[in-house]
Amino acid sequence: MIKVTIAGATGYTGGELIRLLINHPDIELKWLTSTSLVGDSISSVHRDLLGECSLKFTDEIGEPDALFLALGHGVSKEFLNKAAISSQCKVIDLGNDFRLDGKFGDESFAYGLSELFYEEISNSRLVANPGCFATAITLALAPLAEAGLLNNESHIHAITGSTGAGKSLGQTTHFSYREGNISIYKPFKHQHLAEIDNTLNRVSNSKIGNINMIPMKGDFTRGILASIYTEIDKEMDMESLIDLYSERYSASPFVHLSKEGISLKEVVNTNKALLHLERHGKYIHITSIIDNLLKGAAGQAVQNMNIMFGLPQDRALKLKGSAF
């Protein structure tokens, strides 16, 4: 059994990691750390785990084979510098500390977008889990980038649920603000843009066009829907475009191309990413949907752990969507 520690297990992502890992047949979840809730039961914070997890929060990291960092952004590097963990322990960081610059001492974090960097992840001890917007948008555009077709500007409107802002309450995450409301935030300057641009340039065989992104806050709790369009210089019919995407993700148990239009509830509570393509004259329009807490965070982290330990990618991740 693989012994696991989750550092920072009190937030939404930490709760989802616990839910997935206590049902993982190859995992023994041993240590769940918190600086303020030592000795409290897990179910006192994650009420949905009442009767399923008897562990208590601790300030001990233990001696894990795998360590998940579900800490605040900018905290992981400091934590690892202070923590006494084995050089054999595999680390999956869900923060943003190592997404753009993976260097850490004499080692480097692999960028953990599972479908694009499987081999690198499988050979790495350290993995930086991608951001949620970055996951949805990069999966939508990567096949075009790899084929040298992403030369023109891409335009993105992407809407996310309130859990994307984390558990701490703020003015724009409060129910009285969010309910029945939609708003734009950080237009053209969201922090995930650099991550998206960096990854697409890595996989492209030519320079990609500018990525324009308008993020939006939705009046729902979880999920991301990204509406993306770009102009393609090369003439490609729909059949060729569908073949391009189908072949690219043929080995993925989670990324699927839908012939029909897609809606957010089809991926909520799953580790799936669904894509839908349409051609409109010189433009291709792509809809991409994920659950921000699963494929955009905890689910992809477990998927990466599975890859790192040579397990099937979908182990403990065969989850049903909540479409009704």
In order of their start, the domains of the chain are 2-129+297-308 (3.40.50.720), 132-290 (3.30.360.10)
Please state, for a pLDDT cut of 90, what percent of the chain lies above it: 71
What spatial distance separates the first Cα and last Cα of the chain, rounded to whole Å? 36
Q: What is the pLDDT of residue 309?
A: 98
Residues marked as catalytic: 132
- What are the helix (H) ranges across the chain? 12-21, 76-82, 118-122, 132-146, 175-178, 192-203, 238-248, 298-308
Considering only residues 39 and 153, tell me which one the structure prediction assigns the higher pLDDT: 153
d(CA 263, CA 117): 27
Res 174: pLDDT:
73
Residue 136 confidence (pLDDT): 98
Other CB atoms within 10 A of residue 11 CB: 22
168-178 pLDDT per residue, tens: 667 777 777 88
- DSSP-derived 3-state class of residue 240: helix
Distance (Å, rounded) from C-alpha 223 to C-alpha 86?
35
Q: Is 264 helix (H, G, I), strand (E, B) or coil?
A: helix
CA dihedral 62, 63, 68, 70 (to 10 degrees): 20
Structure confidence at residue 204 (pLDDT) = 93
Structure confidence at residue 89 as a pLDDT band (50, 70, 90): very high
* Residues paired with residue 227 on neighbouring β-strands, in sequence order: 157, 287
Half-sphere exposure of 256 (CA within 13 A, CB side): 14
Q: State residue 82 phi and psi, 5-degree precision.
A: -95, -25
Position 284 confidence tier, pLDDT thresholds 50, 70, 90: very high
CA distances in angstroms from 41 to 50, 72, 178, listed in the order given: 9, 21, 30
